[in-house]
Amino acid sequence: MKEKLIELIANLKLDEAEALADNLIAQGIEAQDLYDIVMEGLNEIGRKYENGECYIADLIVSGMIAKNIFAAANLHQSDKNRSMPLGKVLFGTIYDDIHDIGKDLMIDALENRGIEVIDLGVDVKVDKFVAAVKQHQPDIIAVSCVMTSSIPYLQALGSALENEKLLENRRFLLGGAVVNHDYIKIPQIDFMTNNFYEGIRYCEVFLDEKRERKLNE
């Protein structure tokens, strides 16, 4: 059934994929296992897009499938009863990259955990990131990147944030398919992952610890 769900997502069979996912959820599939299956399907769609086998609209549909499956599995544990947001995350896809599926899924999960998110969208230039950090004063700067051709812009962003002294008392995160510890060497980045759960957990832990420090001051 795992391979079938991956195939259905990769082939954009929305109703069939969601029906099969509902079946797996009813059987008690572990949340992490379901997440891994869905991400394999999304990765296949990403490969098709890179090879010119599908289009932007197909990426959007695959993102809808993933969101619906995650919502059905209650992978986004809602915590909207907070009187105040746990913290603030500034999120965007770096310049020369228009992928937004992973970014949007991450944003949904963060917001459902009581975290405020400022979404800069895709194809975001370095100077726009820097200006947004100054304006919104986020606790976390999160950048998504899928295209290896965009790595120089990530490096430029890290240098710009450091030169403007905008990394003090906040975290700089990188997520997406480009993440590879063997060749991504950007010293300003605090944490890199292409795993949805790792990214969410890192943000929650940092924001919880930051709030605790403020309460104890």
The dihedral of CA 48, 186, 170, 123: what is its sign?
negative
pLDDT at 102: 81
Question: What domains can be seen in the chain, in order of their start residue?
Answer: 2-72 (1.10.1240.10), 88-216 (3.40.50.280)
Query: What does the pLDDT read at residue 83?
Result: 53
Q: What is the pLDDT of residue 82?
A: 47
pLDDT surpassing 50 at residue 79: no
SS3 category, 173: strand
Surface-to-core class of residue 53, CB atoms within 10 Å of its CB (0-12 exposed, 13-18 middle, 19+ buried): exposed
Predicted pLDDT of residue 185: 86
Distance CA 182, CA 151 (A): 13
Give the residue-averaged pLDDT of 81-86.
64
Query: Which DSSP string do the residues of 87-138 spell out, in sequence order?
Result: -EEEEEEBTT----HHHHHHHHHHHTTT-EEEE--SSB-HHHHHHHHHHH--
Asked if the model's pLDDT at residue 161 lies above 60, the reply is yes
The whole-chain average pLDDT of the chain stands at 87
User: Considering the entire predicted model, what is its pTM?
Assistant: 0.70
Report whether pLDDT(113) > 80.
no
The phi and psi torsions of 26 (rounded to 5 degrees) equal -65, -30
How much is the average pLDDT of 71-85?
A: 58
Neighbours of 201 (CB within 10 A): 12
Structure tokens at 78: 């809602």
pLDDT exceeds 80 at position 75: no
Residue 45 in tokens? 């769609």
Share of the chain above pLDDT 70, in %: 94
